[in-house]
Amino acid sequence: MIEPSVTISPRLVWSVSALVHAVADTLASRFAVCVVRGELSGYSRAASGHCYFCIKDADGESAMIRCAMFRRAASLVDFAPADGQLVELRGRLAVYEPRGELQFVVEAMQRAGAGALFEQFMRLKAKLEAEGLFDAARKRALPRMPRCVGVVTSLAAAALHDVASALGRRAPHLQVIVYPSAVQGPEAPAALAQAIGVAGERAEVDVLIICRGGGSLEDLWAFNDERVVRAIAGSAIPIVSGVGHETDVSLADFAADLRAPTPTAAAELVAPCTDDCLALLAASAALLQRRVHHALDAQAQRLDANGARLSRPSDAVRRHLHSLAMLAQRLATAGRQGLPLRAARIDSQASRLQRASSVLIARHARGLESLQTRLTTLDPKRVLSRGYAWLADEAGQPIQSVMQMSVGQELNAVLADGSADMTVKRIARERST
C-alpha cells in the first residue's frame, strides 16, 4: 500500500532582536515624521543633557507614550518644559530595543497651551491665594529644639525612609510619630487631610512633615487638592512640606509654613544637628567657665587685699590717731589765728557802719530842713498875714469866684488873726475886656 505524501509548510521563526528590528523598521517607514500634541508628564533632564518624559492626551484619556529628546534637540527648545504643559512634538516613532518599548524620539518641541491639569492648578492657586492661604504673614517659625516630630506619608514610601534616616543621623534623640496616609491616587487627598487633622487633635508633636518622593504632575496631584491645602493652612502645628524633588512645586508648598526641596531636606530643616548643638553647648560651657574663673580670681584678690588690711589693725589705728592729731593742731592754730583777724574785721566794719550812719543821718537832716522850708513857704497863714482873707460858704467850701455867691448868702471869712461871719449885700462882677 502506497502511503500518501504529507506536505509540511515551512514556519517563519523570529529571533527577538529580528522581530524588534522588523517592528522598528515598520514604524520608521510608516511614521517617519509625525507631529503629536499632548500634555507633558514626568519631565526630567539627565546629567547628559537628554530629556525623558511622557506625553498624554489633555482630555484625561489614559493613553500615554514615552518620549526621549536628545541633548541637541533639547538645546533648541526656547522655553522651560514642565509637567502639565500642553506641547506639540515633532519626531518619529521608534522602538527602544533593550526593553522592546515603543517611544517617540522628539526632534522639536513647542508650546501649544497650558494643559488641563496645569490650568486647573493655576485656577486653584489663584483662588486660594486670593483667600490669603499663602500669605507670608501667616507663616510660623519652626521650633528651634523640637522634642517630637510628626511625619505624614505612606508607610511604603521611600520618603519615610529618607526622613527617618536623616533624623536618626542628625538628632537620634528625637521621637518620631508617623501618621500614615496614601500619597497618590483618588483616595490620597482625603487621607492626607485626615492625617493632618489627627495630628492636630492629638497635639503630640512640635512640628509636622508632609512628604513623598518625586513623580509626575499626576503622581503629585493629591498635594494640589483643595482639601489638603486647607488642612495645612488650618493646622495648629507648624508644617514643613517636602513633596517631590527640588523642581516639583505643589500648592501644599505654598500653604505650608516652610517648603523643603526634598523629604531629606525637610528632616534637616526641622531637626538641628545634635553634633552642632553639643559643640555650641561645649563652647557656651567653656565661656561660662572662663567668666566664673575670672570673677572668682577678682574676688579672691579683693579678699586678699581686705585680709591684709585687717591683719594689722594697729597700723590703721595709728594712721587714724595721726590724722586726728593733725586735725586738732589745725583746729587750735585756726582758733588762735582766726580770732584777732575776725576782731579786726569787726572793728573795721563797726567804724564803717558808724561813718555810714553819720553820713546818712546828716543827709536825712538836710532833707528834713528842705522840706520844712518848703512847707513854711506854702503855709496859707503867711498869705493871710499879707492882708488876704479866705472865704468859705456855710458848708466850709472855699469861695473862689463871685459866681459862687448870691445876695444874702452867709459867708465865713478867715483872716490871719481870726475869722468873721458876714452877709453878702451886693455882688459886682468884673467885666472882661
Residue partners of 86: CB distance under 8 A and separation at least 6: 37, 38, 39, 40, 58, 111, 112, 113, 114, 115, 116, 118
Query: What's 134's DSSP letter?
Result: T
User: CA-to-CA distance for 122 and 86, rounded, in angstroms?
Assistant: 14
425, 409 Cβ separation under 8 angstroms: no
Q: Which helix H or strand E contains 117, and what residues bound it?
A: helix 116-130
Helix ranges, 144-216 (H) = 158-170, 188-202
- Residue 335 has a pLDDT of 65
| CATH fold of the domain at 16-114 | OB fold (Dihydrolipoamide Acetyltransferase, E2P) (2.40.50)
pTM over 0.75: no
Q: Select from 267, 192, 265 the least CA-distant residue to 231.
A: 192
Q: Which amino acid is at 2?
A: I
What is the mean pLDDT, run by run of 10 residues, along the chain of 433 residues?
48 81 80 86 91 85 87 88 87 86 90 70 88 89 90 90 90 91 90 93 93 80 91 92 83 91 90 78 88 89 78 74 85 72 83 88 89 80 78 85 85 85 85 64
- Residue 257 has a pLDDT of 92
CA distances from 331 to 324, 328, 335 (A): 10, 5, 6
- Residue 342 has a pLDDT of 79
User: CA-to-CA distance for 131 and 140, rounded, in angstroms?
Assistant: 18
Q: For residues 87, 91, 93 and 97, what is the CA-based torsion angle, rounded to 10 degrees?
A: -110
Grid cell at residue 157? 514610601
Domain at 141-275: CATH code? 3.40.50.2300
Domain boundaries of the chain, sorted by first residue: 16-114, 141-275, 383-423
Q: Select from 211, 144, 152 the least CA-distant residue to 171.
A: 144
Q: Select from 92, 125, 419, 107 the least CA-distant residue to 252.
A: 125
Grid cell at residue 366? 538836710
Domains 16-114 and 141-275 share a fold: no
